[in-house]
């Protein structure tokens, strides 16, 4: 009798899951009638506050937050979003207590391994992982884990997950300026070596200095997110409206959405409301882009 009850409960759960899945597909189909985002970025804020709110052990909020991240990732790719960017760890976060930083790094190593072992979400949606940021700041084990994750998903080409780790927007901009300057300097050195013995050195040098002036395109080519379209929507959980040094260069015409829910509380409905708000603002945002 007990086994019969368990079988019945399992059948009911299966039917309910099928119904929820069908309902979700219907909602996604209706939503897709309007303009859909290509790129959504997330600031996953509120893991520590969630742990305090629920009286959980220190660090437990990050574990629950990882489950919210997986669900949100799945819903995004089901909706046809090609690029998802998440702010996993800021350069400023290294200033936190060493124990907390190490916990987050260990959790990241663990979850990356878990993702690669299961690969259900990554392979079913063809997701390639890219890590963005000053990865030289990471410890060796985390750096190895990121390289393994990127290599393990390199052949996937339908969607991209960009994980900003040891990242800040100001660091990205400084990096781009430095790389652009180095590139131009090397070009000048090469031209100078070719001009030796030439009677028109001064005229040629004036021309080359003009050609070697750093342009906007030079900086964008050396950004960490080079080749990735700017985000259409940036969602920051916990009701905060600050960008916190995240994608400052890329969010000029981005729709910002700040739900009150802490990151572990983020749900499908949060994502749907963000897209609905974006669809209402999309015409205005496109108009602003054209006027720029």
CB 163 within 8 A of CB 135: no
45: annotated active-site residue? yes
CA 198 to chain CA centroid, Å, is 51
Buried b (16+ CB within 10 A) or exposed e, 175-211: bbeeebeeebeeeeeebeeeeeeeeeeeeeeeebeee
Q: Which residues contact 117 (CB under 8 A, 6 or more apart)?
A: none
CB 271 within 8 A of CB 76: yes
Instruction: Give the helix ranges, DSSP H, for the chain.
Output: 2-31, 47-53, 60-78, 98-118, 120-124, 140-152, 169-195, 201-211, 216-221, 268-291
Euclidean distance between CA atoms 75 and 254, whole angstroms: 20
CA 123 to chain CA centroid, Å, is 18
Euclidean distance between CA atoms 62 and 74, whole angstroms: 18
Neighbours of 132 (CB within 10 A): 21
Q: Residues 45, 192, 199, 232: which is the catalytic one?
A: 45
Quickly tell me which residue has 């390199």 as its tokens: 154
Neighbours of 127 (CB within 10 A): 21
Euclidean distance between CA atoms 193 and 252, whole angstroms: 41
Active site positions, annotated:
45
């Amino acid at each position: 009798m007990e086994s019969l009850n368990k079988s019945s409960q399992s059948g009911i759960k299966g039917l309910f899951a099928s119904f929820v899945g069908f309902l979700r597909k219907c909602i996604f189909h209706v939503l897709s009638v309007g303009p859909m985002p290509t790129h959504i970025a997330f600031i996953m804020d509120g893991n520590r506050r969630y742990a305090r709110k629920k009286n959980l052990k220190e660090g437990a909020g990050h574990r629950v937050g990882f489950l919210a991240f997986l669900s949100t990732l799945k819903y995004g790719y089901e909706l046809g979003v090609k690029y998802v960017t998440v702010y996993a760890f800021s350069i400023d976060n290294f200033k936190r207590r060493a124990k907390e930083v190490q916990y987050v790094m260990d959790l990241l190593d663990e979850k990356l391994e878990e993702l690669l072992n299961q690969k259900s979400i990554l392979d079913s949606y063809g997701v390639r992982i890219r890590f963005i940021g000053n990865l030289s700041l990471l410890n060796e084990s985390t750096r190895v884990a990121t390289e393994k994750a990127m290599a393990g998903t390199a052949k996937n080409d339908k969607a991209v997950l960009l994980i900003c780790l040891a990242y800040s927007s100001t660091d990205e901009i400084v990096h781009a300026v430095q790389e652009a300057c180095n590139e131009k300097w090397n070009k000048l050195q090469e031209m100078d070596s070719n001009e030796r013995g030439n009677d028109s050195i001064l005229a040629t040098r004036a021309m080359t200095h003009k050609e070697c002036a750093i342009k906007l395109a030079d900086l964008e080519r050396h950004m960490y997110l080079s080749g990735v379209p700017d985000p259409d929507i940036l969602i920051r959980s916990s009701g905060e409206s600050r960008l916190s040094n995240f994608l400052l260069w890329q969010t000029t015409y981005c729709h910002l959405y700040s739900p009150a829910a802490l990151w572990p509380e983020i749900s499908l409905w949060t994502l749907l409301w963000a897209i609905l708000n974006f669809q209402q603002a999309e015409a205005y945002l496109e108009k602003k882009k054209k006027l720029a």
